[in-house]
Amino acid sequence: MGTKIIYLFVFACSLLSVSCKKSSQQIPTTTPAINIFKAVIAVPGNDKRGFRSTDSTSIIKRVEYYPPGRKDSVIIIRAADAIGEITLNLVNISSTGTYYFKPGKHFRVSFCDYSGLDILSDYPVYYSTSQTVDSGNSITSGTFTIHKINSLEIEGSFSATMGYLDGTKVEIEDGTFRGKFIY
Q: What is the pTM of this model?
A: 0.71
How crowded is residue 163: how many other Cβ atoms within 10 Å of its Cβ? 17
Q: Is the pLDDT of residue 20 over 80?
A: no
Read off the pLDDT of residues 63-82 as tens digits, 9 standing for 90 and up.
Answer: 887 777 778 888 999 998 88
Domain positions in the chain are 34-180
Read off the pLDDT of residues 119-165 as tens digits, 9 standing for 90 and up.
Answer: 444 556 666 654 554 444 445 578 899 999 999 999 999 998 887 77
Residue 9 is predicted with a pLDDT of 41
Residue 164 is predicted with a pLDDT of 73
Task: Estimate the share of the chain in helix, then strand, then coil, as percent rounded to the nearest 5.
Answer: 10, 50, 40
